[in-house]
């Protein structure tokens, strides 16, 4: 199984939910999700973020769905780390 | 996310928890002073049956509740709609399916509920001595005076609540709103 271990995402989001709530919600997608969020730019109504998500196996669709639910917009996937690992490994 | 946490979250992301608190106090104050005015009117105007007093107060309480719900819903819906359109323009994205879209549907209802419930509940609390007296319960004061006392206490408690919110002395804030209620009562006494 090819598992996504790490992703660096470029995200645009409204000021609310704030960075803490935003990263908490993304981290709640899976049990072992680790999120590091950096606010790159702040505009009048929006913030541009660099978000690093790490896990044993990232469910990208679920992460994208959470970003959309919070009103965010995925601009680009800037880095990806994937690993082909035996099933159950 | 359970219902209460979800409601709190939606109020948080729309920065409307302060508006809810403000509406609660403003309309609660409206309810208390309106009931004070009606009851004072009956005290000054001469004897009337408790049934008539209760009906008049209940009518005003229901009208205040409905007015609070409808006015807040209409105005907050418009405000939320405008905020969402501004955000959608900034995000260049349809946000109807996001928490912001959900807030557009739910936050006006929550605010309207508080705006209507505050005057209604406080009014019902003030009417309670009248109901108790009409049910045969003996009160330490005549029923109309007991209702006035509850109205003054409600106004004091709303002021104390505001004091806690503002981080100033709750006693000072409570006494200040009580003074406003006493001034209102004096005006009614003078002109009614």
**Confidence class for position B156, pLDDT limits 50, 70, 90:** very high
Per-residue pLDDT, B166: 86
B86 to chain A, any CB pair closer than 8 A? The answer is yes
B99 to chain A, any CB pair closer than 8 A? The answer is yes
B6 to chain A, any CB pair closer than 8 A? The answer is no
Per-residue pLDDT, B15: 85
Q: Are B151 and B181 in contact (CB under 8 A)?
A: yes
Pairing of strands A46-54, A2-14: antiparallel
Conformational region of residue A8, where left means phi above 0, alpha means psi within -120 to 50, and beta covers everything else: beta
Per CB-CB distance under 8 Å, the chain A contacts of B97 are 68-69
User: pLDDT averaged over chain B?
Assistant: 92
- What CA–CA distance (Å, rounded) separates A52 from A63? 11
Per-residue pLDDT, B47: 79
Inter-chain CB proximity A69 and B99 less than 8 Å: yes
Inter-chain CB proximity A14 and B12 less than 8 Å: no
Give the DSSP H or E segment for A46. Answer: strand A46-54
In the predicted structure, residue B81 carries a pLDDT above the cut 90 = yes
| Secondary structure (DSSP) of B89-147 | HHHTS--TTSHHHHHHHHHHHHHHHHHHHHHHHHHHHHHHHHHHHHTT---SS-HHHHH
Provide the sign of the torsion angle of the four alpha carbons B66, B70, B76, B77, taken in this order: positive
**Confidence class for position B4, pLDDT limits 50, 70, 90:** confident
Q: B186 or B165: which carries more pLDDT confidence? A: B186
Residues B22-55 pLDDT 10s: 899 999 999 999 999 999 999 998 878 999 999 9
**Confidence class for position B137, pLDDT limits 50, 70, 90:** very high
Per-residue pLDDT, B14: 86
In the predicted structure, residue A87 carries a pLDDT above the cut 80 = no
Residues A28-62 pLDDT 10s: 999 999 999 999 999 998 999 999 999 999 999 99
**Confidence class for position B1, pLDDT limits 50, 70, 90:** low
A76 to chain B, any CB pair closer than 8 A? The answer is no
Per-residue pLDDT, B32: 96
In the predicted structure, residue A71 carries a pLDDT above the cut 90 = yes
Interface mutation vs chain B, best among A71, A72, A73, A75, most B CBs within 10 Å: A71
Conformational region of residue A42, where left means phi above 0, alpha means psi within -120 to 50, and beta covers everything else: beta
Q: Are B76 and B58 in contact (CB under 8 A)?
A: no
- What CA–CA distance (Å, rounded) separates B80 from B100? 9
Non-local CB neighbours of A19 within 8 Å, separated by 6+ positions: A37, A39, A47, A49
């Amino acid at each position: 199984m090819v598992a996504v271990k790490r992703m660096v995402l470029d995200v645009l989001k409204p000021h609310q939910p704030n960075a803490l709530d935003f990263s908490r919600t993304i981290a709640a997608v899976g049990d072992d999700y680790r999120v590091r969020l950096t606010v790159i730019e702040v505009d009048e109504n929006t913030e541009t973020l660099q978000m690093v998500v790490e896990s044993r196996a990232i469910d990208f669709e679920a992460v994208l769905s959470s970003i959309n639910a919070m009103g965010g917009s995925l601009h680009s996937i800037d880095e990806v780390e994937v690993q082909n690992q035996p099933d159950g490994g | 996310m359970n219902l209460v946490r979800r409601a709190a979250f939606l109020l948080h992301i729309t920065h409307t928890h302060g508006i809810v608190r403000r509406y609660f106090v403003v309309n609660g104050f409206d309810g208390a002073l309106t009931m004070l005015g009606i009851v004072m009117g009956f005290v000054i105007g001469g004897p009337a049956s408790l049934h008539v007093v209760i009906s008049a107060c209940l009518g005003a309480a229901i009208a205040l509740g409905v007015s609070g719900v409808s006015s807040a819903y209409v105005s907050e819906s418009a405000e939320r709609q405008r905020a969402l359109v501004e955000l959608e323009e900034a995000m260049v994205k349809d946000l109807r399916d996001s928490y912001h879209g959900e807030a557009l549907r739910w936050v006006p209802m929550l605010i309207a509920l508080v705006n209507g419930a505050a005057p209604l509940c406080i009014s019902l609390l003030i009417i309670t001595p009248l109901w108790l007296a009409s049910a045969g319960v003996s009160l330490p004061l005549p029923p109309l005076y007991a209702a006035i006392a509850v109205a003054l206490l409600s106004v004091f408690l709303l002021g104390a609540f505001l004091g806690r919110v503002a981080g100033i002395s709750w006693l000072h804030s409570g006494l200040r709103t009580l003074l406003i209620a006493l001034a209102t009562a004096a005006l009614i006494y003078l002109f009614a």
